[in-house]
Amino acid sequence: MNKFPRSAYVHIPFCHRRCFYCDFAVIPLGNNLETLQGYGSKTVKEYLRYLYKEILSIKHKSPLSTIYLGGGTPSILHPLQIKELIDLFKENYGVDYGAEITMEVDPASFNEDDLYGFINAGINRFSLGVQSFNDRVLQNSGRRHLREDVEKSCSWLKRVFDSGLINSWSLDLIQNLPLSGSKEWQDDLDKAITFMPPHISIYDLNIENGTVFKKLDNLGKLEVPSDDEAFKNSELTNVILKNSGYSRYEISNYCLPRHQSRHNRVYWSGLGWWSFGQGSTSSPWGEKFTRPRVSKEYKEWVTWQNEHNLDSSLINNEFVYKELDEKIMLGLRLKEGVDIYKVLQEQNWENKKFESNFIKLLNEWEKFLESGLLVRNGKRFFLSQPKGMELSNQILISMFKWWEEIN
C-alpha cells in the first residue's frame, strides 16, 4: 500500500490564553490580539511563513479529500489568512470537489462577519469548542467565553447550516469538569440539542501534567465528579442524545445521519494523513512523526527540512502497518468494531500460531463477552452501547496485556 495521503491536519497554535485543562502545543498571545495587523500580528505572520514552507516541502502528493484546521484557536486568524492557507493546498496539492474542510472555532474569538468570511475562504464544516453552557463551569476551567457567547455562536452556525452555506458543524462539550454535577451536565446537554448540531463530540476530562488542573489536583483542591457520578453522567449523555436522534459512531462522537466526521475517521481507520505545524503528528505511511512543540525549535526544524532532506517518515512510500494492538484499539473505538481475523492475518502468522494467539485473546476477552461489554458477530468484535463504550479501558488493557505476552 503506497497511496499518498488524502487528508491533512494543520495546527494553528495561537490562543488568547491557555485553558486550565490544556496541555496542547499552544502560544497564548493575550486578549488584544490582531492577527492581520496590530498586536501579535508579527508573531502570527512569522509562524505562518514557516507553516507554508513546511506544507510546500512535500514533493509527492495527491489531491486532498479532507482538511482540518485545529489548534489552538484557528478562528483567531483573519478570514484572509484562512483563505491564503486553503488556497495553498488547492494550488499545490489539489482539493477534491466535495472535500470536507473543517475549522475549529472558539465562541469568544469570532463574530458573524468572520463566520461568513471563513465560509467564503472555503470552510464548509465548523467545530465549535463550547465545553459548557454554564458560566461558573467555564470560568473555573479558564475559558474566555461565557454562555451568551456560546448561544450567539450556535445560532450563527445553525443559521448558515440551515441555509445550506455549510455542509455540517459540530459542538464540543467536556464531561466531568469541576462544578459540573449531574444537574449542570443535563442542562448542558439539553441546551446543546436545542440548536440540533449535526455532530456532537463529548470528551472526558483528563488531568494532564503541566496544567493548572494538575497543580490543583496535586494540592487536593480540584473537585471533579466521583467515578460513580462520572458514569451516571455518561449514561445520561447516551440517553439524552439517543432520544434526540444522535447515533454514537465512535467512543467520543455522536451524529445525526450522514454527519460523521470524515477527517477523524481517517485516524480511527488507520489510514495515512499529512500533518503540518508546531507540535502536530503526521502518519503518511503508517509511521508517526511529531514536530517540535516549542516555536523556536519548530522553526529550526522547518529550516532544516528545506535545506536538507525530509524526515524518512515523510518520504517513505512503503506503507508500514500499525502495530496490531493499535489497530485493534482504533477499530474498537468505532461503532462497527474490528474484524479480528483480518487484522491478525495481516501479521502473516502461520496457521498454528494464528490459532494459538487468537485463542489467547479470546481467553482474555471471555469475561467481557459474558458480561455483554464486548459483542461478537462472526469474526467481528465491537463494544456494546452504552456500557461497553463507557468501560472500554478495561477491554483495551486486557488486549494490551495479551499483546505483551505473545511478544
Q: Where are the domains of the chain?
A: 7-268, 324-406
Q: According to the model, what pLDDT value does residue 288 have?
A: 87
Q: What is the per-residue pLDDT for 1?
A: 45
Dihedral sign for Cα atoms in the order 275, 277, 280, 281: positive
Q: 276 - beta bridge partners?
A: 10
Radius of gyration of the chain (CA): 22
Task: In whole angstroms, give the CA distance from residue 16 to residue 144.
Answer: 8
Fold classification of 324-406 is: Arc Repressor Mutant, subunit A (1.10.10)
Tell me if domain 7-268 and domain 324-406 are identical in fold. no
- Residue (of 16, 179, 208) closest to 106 by Cα position: 16
pLDDT tens, position by position, 257-281 = 999 999 999 988 878 899 999 999 9
Q: Where are the strands (E) in 256-306, listed by range? A: 274-276, 281-282, 289-290
Q: What crossing angle do the helices spanning 41-56 and 295-307 adopt, rounded to 10°?
A: 30
Which CATH number is associated with domain 7-268? Answer: 3.20.20.70
Count of CB atoms situated within 10 Å of the CB of 242: 14
Tell me what pLDDT residue 291 has: 95
Q: What is the pTM of this model?
A: 0.92
pLDDT at 320: 63
Cα dihedral sign, 47-50-56-61 = negative
pLDDT of residue 271: 82
The predicted pLDDT at position 214 comes to 95
pLDDT in tens, 287-341: 888 999 999 999 999 999 888 877 777 876 666 666 788 889 989 989 999 998 8
Determine the length of the chain. Answer: 407
Strands, E assignment, 17-94: 27-28, 64-71
Per-residue pLDDT of the chain (407 residues; tens, 9 = 90+): 457 899 999 999 999 999 999 999 999 999 888 888 889 899 999 999 999 999 999 887 889 999 999 999 999 999 999 999 999 999 999 999 999 999 999 999 999 999 999 999 999 999 999 999 999 999 999 999 999 999 999 999 999 999 999 999 999 999 999 999 999 999 999 999 999 999 999 999 999 999 999 999 999 999 999 888 888 899 999 999 999 999 999 999 999 999 999 999 998 887 889 999 999 999 988 888 899 999 999 999 999 988 887 777 787 666 666 678 888 998 998 999 999 888 888 788 888 888 999 999 999 999 999 999 999 999 899 999 888 998 898 999 999 999 888 88
Ordered DSSP codes for 147-209 = HHHHHHHHHHHHHHHHTTSSSEEEEEEEET-TT--HHHHHHHHHHHHHS--SEEEEEE----T
State the amino acid at position 260 in one-letter form: Q
Residue 179: C-alpha distances to residues 21, 138, 143, 207, 241 (Å): 14, 9, 14, 15, 22
Q: Which percentage of the chain shows pLDDT scores above 90? A: 75
C-alpha grid cell, residue 395: 477491554
Do 328 and 314 touch, CB atoms closer than 8 A?
no
